[in-house]
Amino acid sequence: MLTRTMWLPVVFLVCALASAARADTFTIYVAARDSEAHKAAEKLVDEKTTFWFAKMPKALQKAIELLNGTSNEVRVLMAQGQEAGLYGFPDGLDASKAKLFILGGFCDWKTRDPFACPTEILAGEGRPSGFFSFGGNKTRFQELVLSGFVFDAAGSNKYDAKTNSLLKGSSRTVPLISLSQVVVNHLVIADNVFLNGAHRAFEVFHSPMSNDAVVDVQNNFFLNNVIPLKFSPAGYKGFKTKAVNFRNNSVILNWPFNPDKTSSDVGALSLPTKDCCGVLNIENNLFAYNPGGAMQHDWPEARTVNLKINTNLFFMNATLFGNAKPEAGFFVGKFGLNPIYAVIDQGPGLQDDYSYEMKGNVVMDPKVPVALVDLQAGDSTSVTAKKTVMNDLRGLFGANKQGGTVAIANYAPRMGLDLKNLPFPAEEKAKAFGVQQALVYK
């Protein structure tokens, strides 16, 4: 399937609406033409405050028209299904008093459940830009919410036909989402699935509109991505982001930049300096099977952001370093000037070694079901997901049940996602960690 890039034209930015002084709420429905969702939307549309479009690009064009220079709230609602596309906002949209909600996962227009009724945005061949690109630091939102989508980048990657390992030099080189220093006062990225990204899911690379700016990254699956997430808010007019909250995410089987322990980036989360924000809260997440570590800590503690790491689950996050212990890989880093990576285990004494707030973190096997594509596939371009799932990923790393020395057998092999069998924990005690269906953004 070909992916068509749609950069939204600047012409929509040149005139503010006459109703700029008044805050109105608008709803835009997106559903394939002649689908059941389209037929249902037609009954709701009045072409004044509610609209329908068959594809996301025209829906976003209308959203820009309604947002620019106003205090409006615009909600773009996308039905379950699939669409191939890249959606780019121009640099210059003034929605500094307006709110934009881009929400997928609608089973019908009264019920939203992204994990039961997924909205999939598919990548095309080649090395495209982000699925969503948000302009630059001349584009401003009072509030920006992106929630309820499955972003699968496998179509823009290349895989070895024999081993199904990622061919990094021939695959995607940009994140799945590009925030591009967009100016926001409240940013929410929630309830999404980031899958098969060859170069990050995204970077928290926004510009704070004020010293009260807050970022919430919550309730997302990060699955089988290379170095999935970096926290790097930009400075903007002297403002500093008040808080970045990383909560209730499931971070499973994400990979280092290169499959060796001297790689420059290895950890699933790249921890920032104090320039990032007032505080980085990492709470109620699930970190499992990330070979290069759950969190990469490369700065000295005195220069690292104020961290609060509470009530997270960790399991086997250091196999890149030949360590299959369940508690290994809480931190992996050089902590300043160390010539090699130090691998730090989760344990009761950890909070005594660091000044960060660290409470209630646990180590256990969450028994998450993860489906990998068939490693015997002769042509990686035609690989499909297995019907069954793997409840134990030790075999991928060559590890035995008791831990010990390991070696990675395959590097970022393509993962097929059974949308009816998402990797929620099967272990009863682990179900409180990571993504929660009850916490979907409203």
pLDDT in tens, 304-342: 999 999 999 999 999 888 898 999 999 999 998 888 999
Report the pLDDT value the prediction gives residue 396, as an integer from 0 to 100: 52
pLDDT: which is higher, 323 or 248 = 248
Cα 251 from chain centroid (whole Å):
9
The domain ranges of the chain are 113-439
Q: Which amino acid is at 420?
A: K
Q: Which pLDDT tens digit goes with each residue over 370-381?
A: 755 443 322 333
DSSP for 256-275 reads -SSSSTT-S--SSEE--BTT
Report the pLDDT value the prediction gives residue 371, as an integer from 0 to 100: 58
Confidence check: pLDDT of 294 > 50: yes
Nearest one of 280, 295, 276 to 357, comparing CA atoms: 280
pLDDT: which is higher, 133 or 156 = 133
CA gap 167, 264 in Å, rounded:
18
Q: Which pLDDT tens digit goes with each residue over 149-169?
A: 999 888 887 888 877 778 877
Q: Which residues contact 33 (CB under 8 A, 6 or more apart)?
A: 54
What pTM value is reported for the model? 0.88
Report the pLDDT value the prediction gives residue 376, as an integer from 0 to 100: 32
Report the pLDDT value the prediction gives residue 11, as an integer from 0 to 100: 37
CA gap 217, 277 in Å, rounded:
14
Least confident of 12-26, 104-118, 193-207: 12-26
Mean pLDDT (the chain, rounded): 85
Least confident of 5-14, 38-47, 114-123, 169-178: 5-14
